[in-house]
Amino acid sequence: MNVMPVPRRRNIGRVFVPKVTLAHGGGGKAMKDLVDDVFVSAFDNAALSPLEDQARFSLADLASHGDRLAFTTDSFVVHPLFFPGGDIGKLAVCGTVNDLAVGGARPLYLSCAAIVEEGVEVDLLRRIAASMAEAARDAGIEIVTGDTKVVQRGACDQVFLTTTGIGVIRPELHLGADQARPGDLVLVNGLLGDHGAAILGARGDMALDSTIASDCAPLNGLIDALLAAAPGTRAIRDATRGGVATVLNEMAQASQVSIAIEERKTPLRAEVKAFCEILGLDPLYLANEGKIVAIVPPDEAEAALMSMRAHRYGADAGIIGEVRQGEPGRVSMHTVFGGTRIVDMLVGDQLPRIC
């Protein structure tokens, strides 16, 4: 990509022991070997491989993409590290890419900081790094700088990752949660709650056999297509922790409008519905890692919907509701049964009900 040319390459170190020890965090050769073996070889790119203390970009190149930088960071502490449909590495790349893209930014570069617990298998780290590299390719971004720390057993849960990303926003885009207006329509790009249900299922303490896979995916391509088809789009948010319900509340609050959704139109996988039924959970609050909520003016909604459905990460997209004058900050749902209820923010986690 558009990174300043750096002439020199170095020899890539290798780790020959099966597990990470505190020596790998000591700053000496063992640490260099670990970083090389696991991360540098997986992320291989011109900005990273010289292993300076920082990645360097040309301002002119950045400016060619737009007029504002977008800058974001996120930490990932998921348990288990590997789950159906993804792993902590894919999550760390997609999460930060999506946080940039929902602001209308073109994601360009990511950093990756890893905190590793001693005793973790080096192979596990290699798998995570390979998964990050693949997600980065899918998203069309580069991981250009990073850091690795090793901590004592018990000081973290195997691996924690932090990714920071920068992207550039085109001059004409001004997306914001405070931009929703009465009459706008509310779109989502597919089936809701898959990630939350997949993680709960993968933890295994429910003794439920489930086939639900996480929806974890980089959405910058889909958002590009959406913004091309519906340039008047007011706001986009990714519906991660707290789910669609939380995002809608944030938008209704920021724009001082009410939002009404139709339960009948919320796209849900039959397995996720059943999963929520059994555990007494509400799918609107389940986390997604590949779903956005977009607020689009009514005359562009159809084009927006078609653009999403044409994209591989938007096949099940739908219009789930509309923005109304109503009580500011209020989100309500017309239930399948014909009643209306309020969809509020949750205080903490959703907890399964006892009976």
Partner 1 sequence: MKYVEEFRDPEKAQILLHEIDKLVSEIDIAKQRPIAIMEVCGGHTHSIFRYGLEGMLPKEIELVHGPGCPVCVLPMGRVDDCVAIAARPEVIFTTFGDAMRVPGSQKSLLQAKADGADVRMVYSPMDALALARKNPEREVVFFAIGFETTIPSTALTIQQAKAEGVKNFTVFSNHITIVPTIKAILDSPDLQLDGFLGPGHVSMVIGTQPYAFISRHYKKPLVVAGFEPLDVLHSIWMVLKQIREGRAEIENQYARIVPEEGNSPALAALSDVYELREFFEWRGLGSIDHSGVRIRAAYRDFDAEARFAMPNIKIADPKSCQCGEVLKGVIKPWQCKVFGTSCTPEAPLGALMVSSEGACAAYFQYGGIKRREAVS
Contacts of 59 (CB under 8 A, 6+ apart): none
Cβ distance to partner 1 smaller for residue 257 or 304: 257
Of residues 77-136, those binding partner 1 (CB under 8 A): none
**The one among 16, 59, 211, 347 contacting partner 1 by CB under 8 A:** 347
CA distance 75 to 292: 19
Cβ distance to partner 1 smaller for residue 22 or 278: 278
Question: What is the closest distance, in whole angstroms, from the C-beta atom of residue 73 to partner 1 in the complex?
Answer: 25
| Stretch near partner 1 under the rule CB under 8 A, chosen from 45-53, 67-75, 199-207, 225-233 | 199-207
- Tell me if 16 contacts partner 1 by CB under 8 A: no
Question: What is the closest distance, in whole angstroms, from the C-beta atom of residue 342 to partner 1 in the complex?
Answer: 5
CA distance 250 to 240: 13
CB 120 within 8 A of CB 153: no
| Stretch near partner 1 under the rule CB under 8 A, chosen from 15-23, 168-176, 313-321, 342-350 | 342-350
- Tell me if 315 contacts partner 1 by CB under 8 A: no
**The one among 14, 137, 153, 341 contacting partner 1 by CB under 8 A:** 341
Q: Which structure tokens are listed for 105?
A: 């930014």
**The one among 12, 151, 206, 303 contacting partner 1 by CB under 8 A:** 206
Contacts of 224 (CB under 8 A, 6+ apart): 101, 106
CA distance 218 to 228: 18
**The one among 61, 134, 302, 344 contacting partner 1 by CB under 8 A:** 344
The SS3 of residue 29 is helix
CA distance 144 to 140: 13
- Tell me if 340 contacts partner 1 by CB under 8 A: yes
Q: Which residues pair with 163 in a beta bridge?
A: 74, 112
Angle at 55 between CA 100 and CA 71, to 5 degrees: 20
Question: What is the closest distance, in whole angstroms, from the C-beta atom of residue 330 to partner 1 in the complex?
Answer: 8
CB 95 within 8 A of CB 163: yes
Binding footprint of partner 1 on the chain (CB under 8 A): 205-207, 270, 273-274, 277, 280, 282, 332, 335-342, 344, 346-348, 351-355
